[in-house]
Structure 1
Amino acid sequence: MTVKATLHDYQAQAVRFALHTLPVYGGCGLFLDMGLGKTLTTIAILDIIHRLHPEQRFLIVAPKTVAVNTWPAELAKWEHTLDWAVAAGEKPDAKQRETALAAQATVTIINQDNLGWLDTTLTEWPWDGIVLDELSGYKNANSKRFRILRRRKQDRTRPERGRGKGQPTGWILGLTGTPAAKGLIDLWPQCALLDDTHRLGRTITAYRSTYFTPGRHHGHVVYEWKPRPDAFTRIMGTISPYCLTMLAKDQLPDLPQVIMQDHHVTMPAGTRQAYRRFCKDKYEELTDTHVTAVNAGVLTGKLSQFTAGCLYPDMDAPNRTPIRYDQAKMSVVNRIIAEAQGNPVLVFYQYKDELARLRETYGTDVHTPDEPDIVRRWDAGEIPILAAHPLSARYGLNLQHAGHIIIWMSLPWSVEDWQQANARLNRQGQTRPVQIHRIIEPDTIDERKLAVLEQRAMLQDAVMAELKHAAE
């Protein structure tokens, strides 16, 4: 049974902004904070366009979980004129995807990983508009998905519909709450898909030369680009005509507060000794295997494993079973879960060994997001502990109706993973203060992770606030 959609005032504002911007720039960015209803807002936009132009069709590209579950569920809730087909899945589902394309639905939904398949399957794309759910997934200008979409948008022609030959048709609507998760350099690829007027420059090379200077480099190879002193203000002013930002704290003032609780736990002496030795030697000889760090990236990964109380052997080692050093962080997890007094707990882990420890301690009380009907069971109070890797819970897993406690066994490096994961509970519909527990071992790489998250979050907040200010 469907019901008539009722938009909040801020969602109606976003709809008006998009409808005005899409035909002017050939795209629009809705940088809406997590929990503000980007999906419903987009459905309203598509519905209005379709009512005005019934012949037009749309493609929605989303992360797999969102494509398979969230979009069909939201479309089914509301009364509108749109029909849809889901062309998402892995290789064994190729026939299902082909059937969905053959349906010629008004809205076709596909997951990001199948863009390559779609590109080779259809010589000509029939869609007048493309929605990119989680636009931040296209921040790499060298990625295959970016190149496909840019070429398809530039090359599509519809002379039979009265448009000039060679003129790009359609538009791209980009949705994200984290447009600059790692820095301002991420913005060009995303905006290049939205803006036919090339306000940020036609190439990423032009963008870099205009707004950045080379930082860390070796010869002609630049590893890091540093923004010029005025880059932030100039970039924000340049993209504000076609990018709209909304913050949850402004639009949902009654959203319960977030209580951040840091638990500092001392790394046990034996683990600390091994940690320091590995920092120095970048090698650890174990009973029947070994661990080496061939570069800085591997070293940081191995040091993070030490803080989780384990260490994974090298890929070519005869025994790949992780070595366990201690249970320091697990003891804190146990205490937090006990203090939850039966309230459901969402636990984020980084390593499979952390999930294994949870299961060894709590048995069948531990569940994972890949289980069937997990959201309904969570809402019904049937899931005492939901253990998830941030990548498996970033999108489409809305758990705010039954839980308010989050535990991070190990912190991520990515502020996007951090913010998106926390937004599974901290979103519209939450009625209790959200507790976020971070377990940190001082004087280890944990403190570096925390600093990186805070720095990137500050930039992210600055981008969102500046675009919001420019729109007022």
Structure 2
Amino acid sequence: MFTLHDYQREAVRFALHAFQTTGGCGLFLDMGLGKTLTSIAIMDICHAADPTLKFLVVAPLRPAKDTWAAELEKFKGLHSLDWAVCTGTPAQRRKALDQEATVTVINQENLVWLDTEMRRWPWRAVVVDELSGFRNPRAKRFRVLRRRRKGFDWVLGLTGTPAPKGLMDLWAQVFLLDSGAALGRTVTEYRRHWFTPGAHRGDVVFEWRPRPDAYREIMDAIGGFCLTMLAKDKLTGLPHSTVIDHMLDMPRPTRTVYDRLRRDLCVGLGGREVAASNAGVLAGKLSQVTAGCLYPGPDTPDAPVTHLDDVKLDELDSIIDRSGGEQILVFYQLVDELERLRARHPETRMVGEDGVVAAWNRGEVPLLAAHPASARFGLNLQAGGHIVVWLSVPWSIEDWLQGNARLDRQGQTRPVQIHRLVERDTIDTRKCRVLEGRLGLQDAIMGELGDAYDKA
């Protein structure tokens, strides 16, 4: 057994106790607190107690492919576990399964394949890395683990964002930990107990609103087997991070397009019409305009993207000029944003390129571009920089937190600058308000369960 930080040892003890009392544990540890290493320690202890025990680790693709293997390899002299990574082609996955390793790591997307490939699973313990990826009770991956749950001695769930969109996200995740003992065996039961219908049309409910006492009661119900830890509490030496909003004025021609699209749900550009058929499409189109472009409508899918302005790229240039040659991590939302960024800065490299992470950490990548969905998990970039720029503000709190945590995590030695490029009086400002609201709930949940454990 190897040396852990005190807070990691707390998490190990909590999990081992929860396995005995509940058969599952949620470790809601902030990004950068070492969830992977803590989980390896837990598996090592359990394997020492029962050498026949085998573990299945289910993770997003990048952590499954890279992070877990790297951490197991890094500490291989300090634990007794052998492992196989079950990713890639079907032939490569079958070869990994044939190893019959103590720890098998597979990505979430291949869980359904594994379910059909193997009728009887040899794994009696499961680690779900990024448990929030199982928050949808209708998803096939959730249904696989729900059906097989009774065959596991325990399930360990890891995430730093347990409720990215609200309390409704908790039911499916918690079910995998305790088979429904705390929050109900069905999502219908969960809703009936703690929620009331909000926005709806006939019998179709679009929003479920928590009852007045729901938050407190839910936290009490899961506090015995779910533990949260915040980086700001445990990593007292971590440099602080600062969010810097760059409030930009939309150029008048672009504003004309934006206002007309918002008012009329359609706008004529270059002899063709771009329309928004519903509120969701409208939000997407307005976001495109704030990014300086507008994609064609479904009636003319092969038409070119209309370029409107480069206000945000101009502001990025100002940030680059003031950065003193520091490397910058740039998040984009649209392919057109990326193409214009690379046309202006050919030195830009992409997350996902072979060797790019090592090059970044050596200081050889002036601009590293990433889509939030490709950089949520498994990227440790803190050694190479401390400046993040969001060309477009995301709606998702998970994208926001996980993206920033690529730099704002353990091992960072400088204060992290997080720059948001926001156009005034547009959907950008609404996105910022939505993020702040969701972040408030997220922090409350994380703090609540941590406080409960401290008191106990």
Instruction: Please classify the TM superposition score into its range, dividing by the shorter chain length.
Output: over 0.9
1:237 and 2:215 are equivalent in the alignment: no
Superposed, 1:93-112 pairs within 5 Å as 93-112=89-108
The correspondence of residues 3-402 of structure 1 with structure 2, limited to 5 A, is 5-78=2-75, 79-89=78-88, 93-154=89-150, 156=151, 169-196=152-179, 198-287=181-270, 289-317=272-300, 319-363=302-346, 365-402=347-384
Unaligned runs of 5+ in 1: 157-168
Check the 8 A contact 1:27/1:173 in 2, yes or no: yes
Q: Helix, strand or coil for the counterpart of 1:455?
A: helix
Which of 427, 435, 441 in structure 2 is aligned with 1:445?
A: 427
Letter in 1 for 2:142: F
What percent identity do the matched residue pairs reach? 57
Q: Deviations over 1:424-453 (max 9, x none)?
A: 000011111100111111110001100000
* Structure 1 runs of 4+ with >6 Å offset: none
The Cα of 1:23 is off from its aligned counterpart by 2.7
Distance of aligned partners of 1:261 and 1:197 in 2 relative to their CA distance in 1, 3 Å threshold = closer
8 Å CA contact 1:36–1:248 kept in 2: the answer is yes
Paired residues of 1:289 and 1:318 also in contact (CA < 8 A)? no
What is the RMSD of the two structures over their aligned residues, measured on CA atoms?
1.0
3-state SS in 1 of match to 2:345 = helix
**Which residue does the alignment assign to 1:468?**
450
Deviations 1:137-167 (A, max 9, x none): 011011101110000113x3xxxxxxxxxxx
CA distance in 1, matches of 2:275, 2:125: 49
The aligned amino acid for 2:283 is T
In structure 1, the residue corresponding to 2:267 is in which secondary structure? strand
Alignment partner, residue 433 of structure 1: 415
CA contact (8 A) 1:59 1:108 kept: yes
Aligned pair in 2 of structure 1 residues 309, 82: CA closer, same or farther (>3 Å)?
Answer: same
* SS in structure 1 of the partner of residue 312 of structure 2: helix
Matching residue's letter, 1:247: L
2:421 aligned partner, one-letter code: I
Q: Is the 8 A contact 1:288 1:319 kept in 2?
A: no
Instruction: Check 1:221–1:58 CA distance in 2 against 1; reply closer, same or farther (3 A cut).
Output: same
- The Cα of 1:259 is off from its aligned counterpart by 1.6
Give me the whole-angstrom Cα distance separating, in 1, the residues matched to 2:129 and 2:439: 21
Q: String of CA shifts for 1:94-147, please: whole Å, max 9, x gaps.
A: 101001111100000100000110010001111010111000001101110111
The one-letter code sitting in structure 1 at the alignment partner of 2:198 is: G
CA deviation digits over 1:287-327, x for unaligned, max 9?
25432111110000000000001000023415332111111
Contact 1:127/1:170, CA 8 A, preserved across alignment: no
Measured after TM superposition, the shift of residue 170 of structure 1 is 1.8
Structure 2 residue matching 1:377: 3-state secondary structure: helix
Quote how far apart the aligned CAs of 1:197 are.
Answer: 5.8
Separation (CA, whole Å) in 1 of partners of 2:181 and 2:281: 38
Instruction: Report the CA distance between 1:175 and its aligned residue.
Output: 0.2
Letter paired with 1:85: A
Give the counterpart of 2:386 among 404, 413, 417: 404
CA distance in 2, matches of 1:448, 1:346: 24
Seen in structure 2, the aligned counterparts of structure 1 residues 67 and 283 have a Cα distance that, compared at 3 Å, is same
**Matches of 1:100 and 1:316, distance apart in 2:** 46
Q: What is the aligned length?
A: 452
- Within 1, Cα distance between the matches of 2:175 and 2:303? 43
Deviation of 1:381 (Å): 0.9
How many angstroms apart in 2 are the aligned matches of 1:318 and 1:17? 54
Distance 1:255 1:199 in 2: 35
Partners of 2:335 and 2:298 lie apart in 1 by 15
SS state at 1:301 partner: helix
Cα gap change, 1:286 to 1:236, in 2 (>3 Å): same
| CA–CA distance in structure 2, aligned partners of residues 227 and 334 of structure 1 | 44
CA contact (8 A) 1:305 1:312 kept: yes
